[in-house]
Amino acid sequence: MNPDDPERIEVDLLLEGVYRRYSYDFRGYARASLRRRLWRRAHEEGAKTLSGLQDRVLHDPAVMDRLLRDLSINVTEMFRDPGFFRIMREKVVPILRTYPYARIWNAGCSTGEETYSLAIVLAEAGLLDRVRIYATDMNDDVLARARQGSFALDKMGRYEENYQRAGGAGDMSRYFSTQDGQATFARSLSQGTVFAQHNLAQDAAFNEFHLIVCRNVMIYFARPLQERVHELFLASLVRFGVVALGHKESIVAPFEDRYDVLDAGEKLYRRKR
């Protein structure tokens, strides 16, 4: 897009306004996907231009809340990509066993399905009481849902299939109770989990981790923001710590030489030093 194009200017101004008014930073997101989401919200708010959407966003926090839901990527399910969790059991769990106590950062946890999947893997490995999971997202609404640990019961059939393909031991149903069309996971799975707000685009490192899981988040980021997040992860990993990315993601330059490939197919990397 031409830098002098009026629509590009509107996008830049809208994102700058969101950052200065609400402290959410989407300025480093990939523009093609971002533009589609902005126009979708503009149409639903009855705005004929992105400048019109900006006016509504800056003066009505409820519009900003709706836009934030549009811009937050919340496509998730339990044991999504079962092969990843099989490799977690085979290659990452043995590494975590070597520590008396370990910390895991699930960055971009959304509504919590991935976090509870990780907790089940740790429980079945006998490690859950030796691990603290920090599950973060920039969206408080999805974090509130994640804390509840309740998911639609009609999704459990697919989740059970994923769990079995991921090497699950027994039936996943033993981890949750059902009521009113909801499956609510046992509090024992999340009692060692901290759900907290964190924005990868602007917030700093907050602890040292033995494992960072951030899958299918950075595919929506432009290259400068990807580099910023990789720098953040490097600052947050202990020596020989592991980072897990999505299938379409990889360690970007200039950070590749800081890692060994633990599993190329499932995008697992281990810090060298």
**For residue range 241-262, what is the model confidence (pLDDT) as tens digits?**
999 999 999 999 999 999 999 9
Say whether both 87 and 58 belong to one domain.
no
Q: Which of 42, 71, 100 is the last residue of a domain?
A: 71
Say whether both 236 and 162 belong to one domain.
yes
Say whether both 223 and 259 belong to one domain.
yes
> Does residue 76 fall inside a structural domain?
no
> Does residue 41 fall inside a structural domain?
yes
Distance CA 243, CA 237 (A): 8
User: What is the model's pLDDT at position 70?
Assistant: 85
Average model confidence (pLDDT) across the chain: 94
Question: For the chain, which residues score pLDDT lower than 50?
Answer: none
Say whether both 110 and 203 belong to one domain.
yes
In the chain, the number of structural domains is 2
Q: Report, in angstroms and rounded to the nearest whole number, the Rg of the chain calculated over CA atoms.
A: 20
User: What is the model's pLDDT at position 205?
Assistant: 96
Return all residues near 39 (Cβ < 8 A) that are at least 6 apart: 50
Say whether both 126 and 211 belong to one domain.
yes
User: What is the model's pLDDT at position 30?
Assistant: 83
pTM: 0.86
Say whether both 156 and 23 belong to one domain.
no
The phi and psi torsions of 149 (rounded to 5 degrees) equal: 65, 30
> Does residue 77 fall inside a structural domain?
no
Q: Give the residue carrying structure tokens 């910390």.
A: 103
Say whether both 182 and 51 belong to one domain.
no
User: What is the model's pLDDT at position 28?
Assistant: 87
241: containing domain: 82-271
